[in-house]
Chain A
Amino acid sequence: MHRYANPTRFLKIARVATPIVALLGLALTAAGLWIGLFASPPDYQQGESVRIMYVHVPAAWLGAGGYMSLAIASATALIWRHPLATIAARAIAPAGAAFTAICLVSGSLWGKPTWGTYWVWDARLTSMLVLLFLYLGYLALSASEAEKGGEARASSILALVGVINLPIIKYSVEWWNTLHQGSSISVVNASSKIAPELLTPLLLSVAGFSFLFAAIVLMRMRAMLAQQRVEARSRRMAEALA
């Protein structure tokens, strides 16, 4: 792992991987959403509104999964003080926040025809809103740390403290009586309660959104590494002139 954490080696791999990952993401997302909209049948209970699932569920998984990777990168930055880990965390945060916001908005639009309301202070909805606030807090704190040129200590600690929210999101539908339905797919048991006609476009969308998430993170990491190179050169030049 440390072998690939070298910024020069990482950039070499990222330059090749970025277009492949982005194109795979676009193709799989297009396929998933196309089948979800035009080829999959409506649900026997929810009717047409079930089609929102193909954008809502992948966004929710990546919002929560993205936070887990943000926390892992932050822990790596705190323990090993690896600069690439801090850059990875700072690259993950805006993508994770955007996916969480998409999940909340699409969920709200799904709530209106299903529950008769855009929003309820239900445990699942509230914990997802808290996740968005955690992302926004991390973004604000890490931006201020980056501006001052310091290490990402406070933002990394915030990211780690926020991990407590992930099991709350996962088990909120079991621990409390919620309007939000229980889980239909179990990754641990590799089982699903969803019919294959609806599951196929959902899995395609999940794969597509995941590749798009990875492409955004790779591009942001490349941008931040390039900015760091410019700043380091400017510093060296200023020192040489002094």
Chain B
Amino acid sequence: MTEGVVARPDLWANFIWPAYAITLVGLLGLLIWAFVSMRSAEKKAEESKRR
């Protein structure tokens, strides 16, 4: 079902795919950045506590 929708020219012509792609890349990028920075900061805090 989705394959037909993905290839539909009207969804490309109306910029729906670019809008969704930019949004998802932005959201997931932000989520991954927040997660990685949290993990590395908490790891450093653990190490400094042990020292």
Contacts and interface: CB of A to CB of B under 8 A. Distances in A.
A234 B51 CA distance: 10
A98 B30 contact: yes
Interface string A11-29: 0000000000010000001
Interface residues of B, number: 30
Contacts of A101: 26
Contacts of B10: 47-48
A1 to B, nearest CB: 24
Task: Report the contact-size class of chain A (Cβ under 8 Å from the partner).
Answer: 35 or more
Interface string A95-123: 10010011001100110110000000000
A215 interface: yes
Contacts of A95: 30, 34
A55 B35 contact: no
A165 interface: no
Given A38-B5, A48-B10, A113 B15 contact: yes
Given A95-B30, A226-B42, A113 B49 contact: no
Q: Which one of B13, B18, B31, B41 has the highest number of Cβ atoms from chain A below 10 Å of its Cβ?
A: B41
22 contacts: A33-B24, A37-B16, A38-B1, A49-B14, A49-B16, A51-B11, A51-B14, A52-B14, A101-B26, A109-B15, A110-B19, A215-B34, A216-B30, A219-B38, A220-B38, A222-B38, A223-B38, A226-B38, A229-B49, A230-B41, A230-B45, A230-B48
